[in-house]
């Protein structure tokens, strides 16, 4: 477990955003022309029999290229930092060469990793980049194997939108699943493993985004000036998902709370009610059901041990110059729990991924 458990950040007023973008993908099979394994043992064979052997050979050697996902799902023009790293995931995607054609954006670097199903693309934005849809093609031998349209949104700058918190604030920490159920229809969202069960003290109880927004007046009456929620990102785990700390998608609000747009609207309404919103960002670990689980980009993406090793939770060893190395390693690299894979922030690609995710949520919400 890393020394940094989580970080809370202030979300400003939302930008004008469209709904969550779902990327489709184009799947084209690449035929490998090698047929050296075919052997004809009979002196008598017909042309059609040879054709069957050849077709079978091509089918057996076919390799498919798929584009499944790109993180982050979109970005903005007008950012102060001109750099953006895209994490591309899809079957055999590393066999391809990414090509873009968009004024003011160029590919600075393409990084291949241990898994053939990932590519990291470092982009460079010029200050003159305009919003629009950027076409990304993934080519092999000059042929396009997959493509997608990647949206560049216009960043809105409002000098009044960001206000930090200080010792004058009254911060209300709430657990969304246990706060209020404003929409019972999303208690058992499709595709989510754990269903609502109010009789189970360790289960989900149905609280959601609407339940929070319905009680802004209550929070105002308490004198609260800011709300800090437990993580609200997807936790598609078989048990104990109510607390939110076993995230399985860093770019999606858990559908049992609502949608990404619902979250944006909640932040907007909070500001109208004089409330700041702190988003709990978890950098130490993710849920073991994250889509990386069976296909890590690199073997050191997670802190791994020969057998499960739990953290000793001794945070003091991080700053103690006399701490034993064994205690330090178990604290920093040990897992918080069996369901929470410990992230290796010393991997620079993973560190960049986490930083980009934080910036994305600040801009989005």
| pLDDT at site 353 | 99
Q: What is the mean pLDDT of residues 276-298?
A: 97
CA distance 339 to 313: 16
| pLDDT at site 73 | 98
Digit-coded pLDDT (tens) for 100-147:
999 999 999 999 999 999 999 999 999 999 999 999 999 999 999 999
**pLDDT band with cut points at 50, 70 and 90 for residue 162:** confident
CA distance 132 to 76: 10
Q: Which helix (H) or strand (E) holds 221?
A: helix 216-222
pLDDT at 220 over 90: yes
**pLDDT band with cut points at 50, 70 and 90 for residue 164:** confident
Digit-coded pLDDT (tens) for 45-81:
344 433 433 334 433 345 789 999 999 999 999 999 9
**pLDDT band with cut points at 50, 70 and 90 for residue 161:** confident
| pLDDT at site 274 | 95
Q: What is the mean pLDDT of residues 278-299?
A: 97
pLDDT: is 253 or 45 the higher one?
Answer: 253
Sign of CA dihedral 281, 283, 288, 291: positive
Those residues with Cβ within 8 angstroms of residue 111's Cβ, 6 or more apart along the chain or in another chain: 119, 120, 121, 122, 349
**pLDDT band with cut points at 50, 70 and 90 for residue 6:** very low
CA distance 187 to 258: 10
First and final CA of the chain: distance in angstroms?
28
| pLDDT at site 114 | 98
Predicted TM-score (pTM) of this structure = 0.83
**pLDDT band with cut points at 50, 70 and 90 for residue 25:** very low
| pLDDT at site 144 | 96
Q: What is the mean pLDDT of residues 264-270?
A: 96
3-state secondary structure of 227: strand
Structure tokens at 107: 């590919």
What are residue 337's DSSP bridge partners? Answer: 340
Do the Cβ atoms of 21 and 151 come closer than 8 Å? yes
Q: What is the mean pLDDT of residues 209-223?
A: 98
| Residue 146: CB atoms within 10 Å | 26
CA distance 86 to 274: 35
Q: Look up the CATH number of domain 6-18+159-364.
A: 3.20.20.80
Digit-coded pLDDT (tens) for 173-199:
999 999 999 999 999 999 999 999 999
Phi, psi of 81, deg, nearest 5: -90, 120
| pLDDT at site 96 | 98
pLDDT at 7 over 60: no
CA distance 71 to 161: 25
Q: What is the mean pLDDT of residues 354-363?
A: 97
Q: Is residue 349 packed enough to be buried (19+ CB in 10 Å), middle (13-18) or exposed (0-12)?
A: middle
Residues above pLDDT 70, as percent of the chain? 82
CA distance 244 to 234: 8
What is the residue extent of each domain of the chain?
A: 6-18+159-364, 29-64
Structure tokens at 362: 């600040």
Digit-coded pLDDT (tens) for 308-354:
999 999 999 999 999 999 999 999 999 999 999 999 999 999 999 99
Structure tokens at 59: 């089918």
Do the Cβ atoms of 255 and 196 come closer than 8 Å? no
| pLDDT at site 157 | 79
CA distance 145 to 107: 18
């Amino acid at each position: 477990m890393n020394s940094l458990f989580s970080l809370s950040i202030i979300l400003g007023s939302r930008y004008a955003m469209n709904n969550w973008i779902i990327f489709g993908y184009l799947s084209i099979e690449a035929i490998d022309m090698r047929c050296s394994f075919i052997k004809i043992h009979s002196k008598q064979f017909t042309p059609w029999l040879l054709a069957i052997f050849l077709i079978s050979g091509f089918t057996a050697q076919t390799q498919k290229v798929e584009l499944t996902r790109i993180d982050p799902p979109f970005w903005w023009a007008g950012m102060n930092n001109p750099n953006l790293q895209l994490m591309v995931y899809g079957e055999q995607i590393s066999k391809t060469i990414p090509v873009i054609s968009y004024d003011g954006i160029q590919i600075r670097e393409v990084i291949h990793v241990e898994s053939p199903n990932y590519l990291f693309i470092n982009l460079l934005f010029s200050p003159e980049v305009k919003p629009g849809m950027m076409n990304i093609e993934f080519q092999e031998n000059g042929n396009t194997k997959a493509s997608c349209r990647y949206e560049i949104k216009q960043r809105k700058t409002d000098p009044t939108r960001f206000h930090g918190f200080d010792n004058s604030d009254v911060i209300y920490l709430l657990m969304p699943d246990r706060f209020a159920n404003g929409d019972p229809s999303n208690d058992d969202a499709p595709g989510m493993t754990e269903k609502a069960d109010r009789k189970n003290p360790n289960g989900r109880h149905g609280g959601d985004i609407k339940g929070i927004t319905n009680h802004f007046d209550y929070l105002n009456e308490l004198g609260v000036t800011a709300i800090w929620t437990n993580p609200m990102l997807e936790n598609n785990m078989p048990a104990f998902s109510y607390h939110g700390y076993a995230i399985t998608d860093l770019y999606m609000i858990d559908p049992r709370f609502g949608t990404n747009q619902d979250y944006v609207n909640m932040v907007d309404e909070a500001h109208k009610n004089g409330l700041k919103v702190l988003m709990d960002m978890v950098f130490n670990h993710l849920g073991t059901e994250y889509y990386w689980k069976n296909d890590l980009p690199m073997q050191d993406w997670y802190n791994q041990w020969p057998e499960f090793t739990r953290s000793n939770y001794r945070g003091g060893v991080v700053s103690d110059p006399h701490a034993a190395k064994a205690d330090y390693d178990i604290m920093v690299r040990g897992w918080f729990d069996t369901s929470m894979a410990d992230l290796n922030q010393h991997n620079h690609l993973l560190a960049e991924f986490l930083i980009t995710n934080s910036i994305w949520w600040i801009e989005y919400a």
